[in-house]
Chains A and B, each alone.
Chain A
Amino acid sequence: MAQMRRGAIEYCVLALLRDRERYGFELTRALAESDGLVSSEGTVYPLLARLRQDELVETFWQESAQGPPRRYYRLTKKGREALETFVVQWNSFRNTVDTLIEGGGPP
């Protein structure tokens, strides 16, 4: 389960960034408040670093009216494609697992 969770988290990050950019605090808090997804907000940053290294996300600074400039994360083209591929695979995987769990599998 831990491995599956680890594999899914990065796509949850990409999904959170699908519609708009978010700053680090906002992004990590959203993940931490999703039940059981991450153990703490800080543990998301190593993942963000890797996603950036893999060019799935990129960062930029933006001035804020409420304080210091914030580092925002946004999806790259490569990241969007990776997310779209994952969504297709995940739906298929989820349907298969649901079928087996709920119906006991094919007769």
Chain B
Amino acid sequence: MTTMSVDRIIEDYLGRLDAALDRLPASRRRQLIAEITEHIEYGKSQLPDQTESAVRDLLDRVGQPEDIASEALAEEPQQVEKKLRHGWIVATPALVVLVLGGIGAWAVVAHDHQGTPPPRHVANTIPKTTTAPTSAPSTTAPTSAPSTTAPTSAPSTTVPAPTGPTLATCTSAVSSYYIPPVSWFDGGTISSDQGVGYGCMNQEMLANAMTSVVNAHATPTSAGVASGQYALNSAGQIIVPNGEVIALYQDVCNVEPTSTLCVNG
């Protein structure tokens, strides 16, 4: 059993845990994963031989991800209920917009068909490709976020990077990334989710943590773009470290039209 395959077993376990904790509020979920990751890494460092059986025994002692999730949900029923309610609050207007948008689009298409011949090719104004890197970033995620083409006059608002374990304190497979504080515009208020701030986790987990927070809220903020919590690519898409598109630049400016990023952009 090689070191890499042992690390893979741990990664798989943490992936299962991440999925099992899906119903928890994002910050709690990240906090719990960070603590259990620390637990596993410490336990692993104490093993005389890091064999597959020893690591599996360690994970057995930690427990089944589903049991941990069940315990976590039992400890936080109010928060989960709140999250579910929030999901409906966000989803319901979105559904209405989607339905109305669909009706509107149908009306426009129907009108075009009556007056002019349909275009031979309708270009997608928002390309699907992104400029996000797929390789592992460096140990400090705020500076390892995808390169951005945001206007140089972007506001200087930054959220201090949290301190925590560095790559040297984590295994090669479960690399260390900062989870930057994520800010969002949520119905008139700009908020920030500090979460645990950091932890030993791989790029996929980092991206999941970022997107789960962003998906739980309305729109990322221009300050978030400026501080590298999200990146802005040349297509005007707001993306998280794995390159996933989470919003459009225009969406941010629609809710923050007076921000420096939008005024000067």
Contact = CB atoms under 8 A, between A and B. Distances in A.
B61 A47 contact: no
A29 B40 CA distance: 12
A71 B35 contact: yes
A7 interface: no
Interface stretch (A14-22, A38-46, A85-93): A38-46
Interface stretch (B2-10, B69-77, B138-146, B219-227): B69-77
Contacts of B42: 23-25, 67-68, 70
B39 interface: yes
B256 interface: no
A50 interface: yes
A42 B75 contact: no
Contacts of A23: 42
B63 A42 contact: yes
Nearest to B168: A68
A28 B72 CA distance: 15
- Most chain B beta-carbon neighbours within 10 Å: one of A40, A42, A50, A69: A42
In the A-B complex, list the 4 residue pairs whose CB atoms are closest, starting with the nearest.
A40-B63, A68-B169, A46-B72, A42-B63
A49 B68 CA distance: 12
B75 A41 contact: no
B75 A24 contact: no
Contact of A50 (B38, B61, B64, B76): B76
A25 B65 CA distance: 17
A38 to B, nearest CB: 9
Interface string B43-82: 1010000000000000011111101100110111000000
Interface string B99-135: 0000000000000000000000000000000000000
Contacts of B68: 40, 42-43, 45-46
B64 A40 contact: yes
A25 B39 CA distance: 5
B76 A40 contact: no
A32 B61 contact: yes
A83 interface: no
A24 B74 CA distance: 20
B38 A71 contact: yes
Interface residues of B, number: 27
Interface of B: 28, 31-32, 35-36, 38-39, 41-43, 45, 60-65, 67-68, 71-72, 74-76, 165, 169-170
A48 interface: yes
B219 to A, nearest CB: 28
Contacts of B63: 39-43
Given A43-B67, A68-B165, A50 B39 contact: no
Contacts of B43: 25
Given A50-B76, A69-B165, A69-B169, A42 B41 contact: no
B81 to A, nearest CB: 15
Interface centre among B39, B45, B62, B67 (most CB of A within 10 A): B39
Nearest to A40: B63
B169 A50 contact: no
A34 B230 CA distance: 45
Contacts of B62: 40-42
A68 B41 contact: yes
A50 B75 contact: yes
Interface in A47-102: 47-50, 66-71
